[in-house]
Amino acid sequence: MSDDDLTDPQLASEAELAFEGALRPKSLGEFVGQTRVRGQLQLLLSAAAMQQRTPDHILLAGPPGLGKTTLAMIVAHEGGRPLRMSSGPAIQHAGDLAAILSSLVPGEVLFIDEIHRMARSAEEMLYLAMEDFRIDIMVGKGAGATSVPLDLAPFTLVGATTRAGLLPNPLRDRFGFTAHLEFYDEAELEQVLGRAAVMLGLDIDGPAIAEIAGRCRGTPRIANRLLRRVRDYALVHGGRADVEAVRAALDLYDVDALGLDRLDRAVMLTILTRFGGGPVGLNTLAVSVGEEAETIEAVVEPFLVRIGLITRTPRGRMATPMAWRHFGLVRESEDAGATLPIDDL
Ligand SMILES: Nc1ncnc2c1ncn2[C@@H]1O[C@H](COP(=O)(O)OP(=O)(O)OP(=O)(O)O)[C@@H](O)[C@H]1O
């Protein structure tokens, strides 16, 4: 994706990485929202500190951009522990994992992002490492191969996944605590934005913050990204970041009042105007929009379903009454696909 793809919750670029790093909350107290998860983590970390032991292994599950990496950093920071960062795709052999595990220092926090994408052989090595702080290393090949046990320093594994369902049960069961991160509500996003604006030294008013919060799809990463574009807009136009500036900046980047982008709108308008509101099957929809079915299913649809613009039925995707209203269209009749703008009625 490009840096301009403002509503993609995945991390975009090196520039964004640096920007995010500067805005990341450093403690649980600074971390906005996710009240339940924060309380649970606080308890887990405090109990470990009181008993002077490494905290249990933690699994953070949830969609991209909701704060999993940030929480892993906080777990290390709150306990004054060093942090090692890796990711599933970087661990393609058991040897990759053995190299990391054998060099951990006592109490270190090991963060593995996208842990569901780790190699199967490494996963199996991780079971023993998590349970007994030990791994077996195979030395030699064929009939002469022997396994040599290696003791590890006690560590806390923090795994992050956007696809908790893909993790094998033996791995999932070895985490002492699983946190399910939820999308943020608008009040929480306003707090995220307010905090980021202060850190950026941006002069922005409350209504402008609320306007951005409504468009960022419940995701702090998108909130911060939209704020960056609004800051640019205010800078170039030499004005304050007020509601007008937010609307102008986000209209320029094709992010509408609900946070829909160009592809979301193409999908919705296809369902509404070409298929009379549906039901329409995924593949037919994908061909009509000119996009991969997988992209529609994994990226576009979850958000449209979540905000109530479409429903999934056994016969395909259907637009809801809210969708007709949002696009200013009405369904002409049950069996006809044609639509008329509300203004024409
Ligand atoms: N609760 C929060 N309070 C304030 N800022 C947050 C919060 N959660 C996330 N952020 C901000 O959103 C950005 C993205 O968060 P983070 O990288 O932790 O998400 P993630 O869930 O790890 O995403 P991915 O799965 O793509 O790695 C960070 O820059 C962070 O500043």
DSSP letters, 239-295, are S-B-HHHHHHHHHHTT--TTS--HHHHHHHHIIIIISTT--B-HHHHHHHHTS-HHH
- Mark whether 221 is an active-site residue: yes
Please give the Cα distance from 299 to 153 (Å, whole number): 40
Which protein residues are within 6 Å of ligand 1, measured from CB?
A: 10-11, 20, 23-25, 31-34, 64-70, 113, 160, 162, 192, 220-221, 224
CA distance 59 to 241: 38
Query: What's the confidence (pLDDT) of residue 334?
Result: 55
- Ligand 1 atom with the smallest distance to the CA of 34 is 1
CATH class of residue range 186-252 = mainly alpha
- Residue 338: the pLDDT is 47
For residues 306, 213, 261, 2, the Cα torsion angle rounded to the nearest 10 degrees is -110
Which atom of ligand 1 is closest in space to residue 24's alpha carbon?
31
Among 162, 178, 219, 270, the one annotated catalytic = 162
Structure confidence at residue 165 (pLDDT): 84
Predicted confidence at residue 11, as pLDDT, reads: 64
Residue 215 labeled ligand binder: no
Give the atom of ligand 1 at the shortest distance from the alpha carbon of 162.
Answer: 25
Question: 34-180: which CATH topology?
Answer: Rossmann fold (3.40.50)
Tens digits of pLDDT across the chain (345 residues): 444 577 777 766 777 777 777 789 999 999 999 999 999 999 999 999 999 999 999 999 988 889 999 999 999 999 999 999 999 999 999 999 999 999 999 999 999 999 999 999 999 999 999 999 999 988 888 888 888 899 999 999 999 998 888 899 999 999 999 999 999 999 999 999 999 999 988 999 999 999 999 999 999 999 999 999 999 999 898 878 999 999 999 999 888 889 899 899 999 999 999 999 989 999 999 999 999 988 888 778 888 999 999 999 989 999 999 999 999 998 876 554 445 444 433
Equal CATH topology for 34-180 and 186-252: no
- The size of the chain, in residues, is 345
Q: Which residue type does 38 have?
A: R
Specify the CATH architecture of the domain 262-326: Orthogonal Bundle (1.10)
* Per-domain boundaries in the chain: 34-180, 186-252, 262-326
pLDDT computed for residue 342 by the predictor:
43
Q: What span, in angstroms and rounded, lies between the C-alpha atoms of 54 and 45?
A: 9
To the question of whether residue 317 is assigned a binding role by annotation, the answer is yes
113 labelled catalytic: yes
Q: How far apart are the first and last CA of the chain?
A: 41
DSSP state of 204: B
The predicted pLDDT at position 147 comes to 86
How far is the CA of 149 from the CAs of 133, 135, 152, in angstroms? 11, 6, 10
Q: What is the pLDDT at residue 1?
A: 43
312: annotated binding-site residue? yes
Quick one: 265 exposed, middle or buried, by C-beta within 10 A (0-12, 13-18, 19+)? middle
